[in-house]
Amino acid sequence: MEEDFYATIKLKTGEEIFAKVAASEEDDRTMLIVSNPITAVEIKQRGGIVGYKVEPWLKTTKEDMFIINMDNVITMSESSDVHMISMYQQFCQDQARHQQNQAKLSRKMGYLSTVNDAKDILEKLYKSSPNKNS
């Protein structure tokens, strides 16, 4: 396993991700281990101001490490761009802080029901309310 480095990776799917990367050789194949991969979209505002919208590469998982086979990579470029690395590190810190502050769900937080049950209960409350405007 080689030293970690920051890199921009262009995948065969057309996706472009930025991440901290470690390369690993296994069974004559090169695999990339990517940590907290992100996508960055350039946002242009009026007056010529340019900013970036940074989002997680995969939005429906809480995992922060992924393995990518080099067969799925078109190109990879090691990055020394201080601005991009800074945005990436800030994103990682924000994600860690967000996960620490997230409350664990429990039954003590409220009533659990199906959508239809909740709808029926709310309709009954509304119909029995003396202040409704009908």
Task: Report the CATH number at residue 52.
Answer: 2.30.30.100
- For residue 114, being part of any structural domain is answered with no
User: Is the pTM of the predicted complex or chain greater than 0.85?
Assistant: no
- For residue 120, being part of any structural domain is answered with no
Q: Collect contacts of 56-59 with beta carbons under 8 A, ≥24 apart.
A: 56/95, 57/15, 57/17, 57/19
| 41: containing domain | 5-103
- For residue 34, being part of any structural domain is answered with yes
Nearest to 23 by CA among 13, 33, 10, 14: 33
- For residue 111, being part of any structural domain is answered with no
- Can you give the pLDDT of all 134 residues of the chain as single tens digits? 568 999 999 999 999 999 999 998 888 888 999 999 999 998 988 888 888 899 999 999 888 899 999 999 999 999 999 999 999 999 999 888 877 776 666 666 666 677 888 888 888 888 887 775 65
- For residue 73, being part of any structural domain is answered with yes
- For residue 27, being part of any structural domain is answered with yes
Helix (H, G, I), strand (E, B) or coil at 81: coil
Domain tally, the chain: 1
pLDDT of residue 107: 67
- For residue 132, being part of any structural domain is answered with no
